[in-house]
Amino acid sequence: MSKIIAGLFTSVDGVVEDPQDWHFPYFDDSVGAVVGELMKPRMLLGRTTYVGFAEHFGPLAGQEFADQMAAPPKFVVSTTLTSADWGNATVLGKDWADRLREIKAGDGPDLGMSGSVTLIHSLIAEGLLDELHLLVHPVVVGKGRRLFPADGPHHPLPLASSTVLDNGTLHVVYAPATS
C-alpha cells in the first residue's frame, strides 16, 4: 500500500505562502537532506502547484534539476484541468478521492507532495494524507497564507516525530488521525 506524504516549508507564525521570499537563508545541508528524503518516486500535486511547476521547469528542459522534476509520474488533483502536458502527469478529475484510494491501494511507491495547501486540507478531510512533514523555519513572516485558516475545521494531528536541525529549523512530522 502506498502512502501520501506531504512536505511544506512554514514560518513560526504558520505562513506557507511564497517560501522563495523567506526560506532560502535557512536552506542548508540539514534542510536539504530532509527535502531529499521527501522526494518520492511519484508526485501528487494540486492544480495551482502543477501549473506553477510546469511554467517554471518546462522552459528549463535539458537542465538537470528541471529534468529531474519532470521525470517522475505525477498525479494532478484538479476538476478544471482537462490535460497536463508537462512532466509525465495524469489529471485526476472530479472523482479524484476515489482514484487516489485506488492508487494508494496498489503496489506502487509512495506519493510525495510539495506545496498544494488546498489539496492538503482536502486530503486530511478525506482521510487520505498519511504524513505531514513541516519544516518550521525560525522566522516570523507576518503576512501571507497560513497552513490552516483561522476558521477551518478541527482535525487532530498526532505528532509522529520532531527533530531540531542544525540551523534551528524544526522538522515536525504529523500522522493525521483517522476518523
pTM: 0.90
Q: Which residues contact 109 (CB under 8 A, 6 or more apart)?
A: 2, 40, 41, 42
The H or E element containing residue 28 is none
List, in sequence order, every residue forming a beta bridge with 111; answer none if it has no partner: 4, 42
pLDDT tens readout for residues 32-87: 889 888 888 899 999 999 999 999 999 999 999 889 889 999 999 999 998 899 99
Strands 89-92 and 131-137: unpaired
- Measured in degrees and rounded to the nearest 5, phi and psi for residue 10 equal -145, 155
Asked if 3 and 123 touch (Cβ cutoff 8 Å), the reply is no
| CATH architecture of the domain with residue range 4-174 | 3-Layer(aba) Sandwich (3.40)
Predicted confidence (pLDDT) at residue 16 exceeds the cutoff of 90: yes
Predicted confidence (pLDDT) at residue 179 exceeds the cutoff of 60: no
If you write DSSP's letter for every residue of 31-72 in order, what string do you get?
Answer: HHHHHHHH--SEEEEEHHHHHHHHHHHGGGTTSHHHHHHHSS
By CB neighbour count within 10 A (0-12 exposed, 13-18 middle, 19+ buried), where does 24 fall? exposed
Classify residue 107 by its DSSP letter: S
pLDDT tens readout for residues 95-137: 999 999 999 999 899 999 988 899 999 999 899 999 999 999 9
